[in-house]
């Protein structure tokens, strides 16, 4: 297990303060920094340091890709343990792949690699699935969204 990175009260305030309500203005980071009583340079430097240390794995907007003409789907694979690293590298090499997770089998489900495919069009999903199957030699099982739920989840940073 990876050792937790050390963050201070300012880092926690930054993380808590940036979850929702990002200002739409000419200098949004300056506005956020002012709310936190730090400089814009400090805010940007701390964000970059937390990204570099993998305290944060991503900082950016959440887009509703379908409204922009794109598509995404949850996909799964059954990857033999002996072939895990090779398949992981193959799958992660595709720019359409995001959020690749290893999950242990549960309830008679032997899918162990789960990832999100995001493409510029609905047709792009099928093409990406075929390409990953060809490159990995294993089938990809797409699970399209049947219903959308919006949950604005904000996670307070523990002290």
Residues 91, 137 share a domain: yes
Residues 102, 138 share a domain: yes
Q: Judge whether 55 and 11 are in contact, CB under 8 Å.
A: yes
- The total number of structural domains that make up the chain: 2
Q: Is residue 158 part of a domain?
A: no
Residues 35, 75 share a domain: no
Q: Is residue 115 part of a domain?
A: yes
Does the pLDDT value for residue 155 go beyond 80? no
Residues 77, 17 share a domain: no
Residues 88, 39 share a domain: no
Q: What is the pLDDT of residues 33-76, one digit of tens each?
A: 999 999 999 999 999 999 998 888 777 777 777 778 888 899 99
Q: Is residue 27 part of a domain?
A: yes
Q: What is the CATH number of the domain that holds 138?
A: 3.30.70.920
Q: How far lies 151's CA from each of 1, 7, 31, 62, in Å?
A: 29, 27, 26, 12
pLDDT value at residue 64: 74
Residue 24 DSSP SS3: coil
Range of the domain at 76: 65-143
Terminal-to-terminal C-alpha distance of the chain: 20
Residues 74, 46 share a domain: no
- pTM (2 d.p.): 0.61
User: Minimal CA–CA distance to 141: which of 73, 76, 74?
Assistant: 76
Residues 36, 103 share a domain: no
Distance between CA atoms of residues 2 and 75, nearest Å: 26
Residues 41, 19 share a domain: yes
Does the pLDDT value for residue 158 go beyond 80? no
pLDDT value at residue 116: 92
Distance of CA 54 to the CA centre of its chain: 13
Residues 69, 45 share a domain: no
């Amino acid at each position: 297990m990876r050792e937790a990175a050390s963050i201070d009260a300012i880092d926690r305030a930054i993380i808590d303060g940036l979850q929702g309500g990002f200002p739409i203005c000419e200098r949004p980071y300056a506005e956020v920094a002012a709310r936190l009583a730090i400089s814009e340079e400090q805010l940007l430097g701390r964000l970059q340091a937390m990204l570099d240390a993998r305290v944060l794995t991503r900082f950016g907007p959440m887009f509703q890709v379908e409204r922009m003409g794109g598509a995404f789907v949850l996909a799964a694979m059954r990857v033999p343990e002996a072939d895990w690293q090779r398949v992981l590298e193959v799958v992660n090499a595709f720019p359409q792949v995001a959020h690749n997770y290893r999950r242990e089998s549960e309830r008679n489900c032997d899918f162990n690699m789960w990832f999100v495919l995001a493409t510029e069009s609905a047709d792009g999903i099928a093409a990406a699935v075929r390409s990953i199957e060809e490159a990995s030699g294993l089938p990809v099982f797409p699970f399209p969204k049947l219903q959308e739920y919006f949950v604005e989840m904000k996670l307070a940073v523990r002290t």
